[in-house]
A and B are shown apart, each in its own frame.
Chain A
Amino acid sequence: MKEMIRVEKLNKSFGDLHVLKDIDLTVNEKDVLCLIGASGSGKSTLLRCLNFLEIKDDGVIIFEGDQIEPKTHNLNEVRQKVGMVFQHFNLFPHKTVLENVTEAPLMVKKTNKATAVKEGKALLEKVGLGDKYHVYPSKLSGGQKQRVAIARALAMKPDIMLFDEPTSALDPELVGEVLETMKDLAKEGMTMIIVTHEMGFAKEVADYTIYMHEGRIVERGESKAFFEHPKEERTKEFLSKVL
């Protein structure tokens, strides 16, 4: 299996707060990986380090065989291949749904307008929003907004998708539609790293699940085994609280 991302001895601090401690992580092509853990355990920071929204203090990040260093690499090019979906959607409020999706292909990849629109519409169709092209985000529900955000990230044709608590800001009845979209994506073979509190989703959809605690990876396992027979005491304790 081809390796997509490898992280070695990654450390990150915010001032005195040591958020990530010696993180080692390998993600292969088509892996779906869930990061779980209490808030403050460093899972979101880890995700954000992977597309360089946060810059690591030290350690190695290898993406598709290249060791990426912020000083020597053009991070804008790396980020084009690493899609990101945020907890609070972060849609562009001054642009329509379709413009949200076509903006980056047009401005970054210089895709011609007709192609960008055609591909954008197809993506919106795919996430079930084929009737909302010309609507502004303020008119959408949370679940619809998050699906637009997913389509927007996919429009750059990324090699991997990062999801930072994609359903945490949603009303409970809207969580399902977003998870369904993500499940479809997983089925198509997209490589995905998902920070989530949806244990059912992690167990069902993720190939691997990782439990983080106080900036360290405590346990990593194939999802079924991870949830049914966790090895570490701290994992058991955490799962007993959330399941």
Chain B
Amino acid sequence: MIVGSVFDFGTFISELMRTYPFFIKAAIITIQLTIASILIGTVIGIIFALLKLSPVRLFRMIANGYITIIRGTPLIVQIFALFYGFSQIIMLSAFWSAALALAVHNSAYIAEIFRGAIQSIDKGQTEAGRSLGMSEGVTMRRIIMPQALRRAVPPLGNQFIIGLKDSSLAAFVAVDELFRTAQGIAAGTLNTMETYIIVALYYLLLVMVFTVIVNEVEKRMAKSEK
């Protein structure tokens, strides 16, 4: 093989057939990383959305500070900070420090998604709940949140897809997910272009599956109101 050939279709096909056991294993780690970070990120995000909407000024300031810092710093810096910084205090595996960094990063965006969705619910809904004697908490939990959640599904789906692709940065703290696996294979075979196109296809496939799931959830939620 001539080094310097940009792309060779034959190599691409043979590498695709040869490497799939590695990539499937790696894809599972990518999926785990994504799901863990999305679930944790959503919980943190909802908490900060509620803090941001709180009548207590201190809570709003905390939420604003958190969101500003997290959105204002690069994800790769956050991953490194967590992996090399916090792991000296609390032992965190590479996987969990990456998952937590991704969760924290996503949570800032998810907080804004929920804040917007909650604020978009008509004020009359809150008034109806309160006029029936429901407390603020019950009104939020039973009346506002279920409606806000529905409205949040499309932007959340979008954020989840971003989160899936961002999980590739976990490669830099040695999590054996898709991208790191590709790096390893490319370094070993020198089939750089072919390998990265293969890994791109895995990401694309995951994103497409994800999109189908999000669309399905959206459709089901719309249906239940009809």
Which A residues are closer than 8 A to B by beta carbons? 51, 53, 76-77, 79-80, 82-84, 86, 88, 90-94, 103-104, 107-109, 136, 138-139, 149, 152-153, 156
Contacts and interface: CB of A to CB of B under 8 A. Distances in A.
B225 A93 contact: yes
A8 B219 CA distance: 53
B92 to A, nearest CB: 39
A94 B133 contact: no
B134 A76 contact: yes
In terms of DSSP, what is the predominant structure of the interface of chain B?
helix
Given A92-B143, A94-B150, A104 B133 contact: yes
A108 B141 CA distance: 13
Contacts of B147: 92-94
Contact of B226 (A79, A82, A83, A138): A138
Contact of A94 (B124, B128, B225): B225
Contacts of A103: 132, 142-143
A174 to B, nearest CB: 19
Interface string B113-131: 0000000001011011011
A103 B146 CA distance: 14
Interface in B33-77: none
8 contacts: A53-B131, A76-B133, A84-B127, A84-B128, A90-B124, A91-B128, A103-B132, A152-B132
Nearest to A91: B128
A103 B144 CA distance: 13
B14 interface: no
Contact of B125 (A79, A92, A136): A92
Given A51-B131, A152-B128, 5 more contacts: A86-B127, A108-B132, A108-B134, A109-B133, A153-B132
B24 interface: no
Contacts of A91: 128
Contact of A86 (B124, B134, B138, B225): B124
A104 B134 contact: yes
B11 interface: no
A86 B146 contact: no
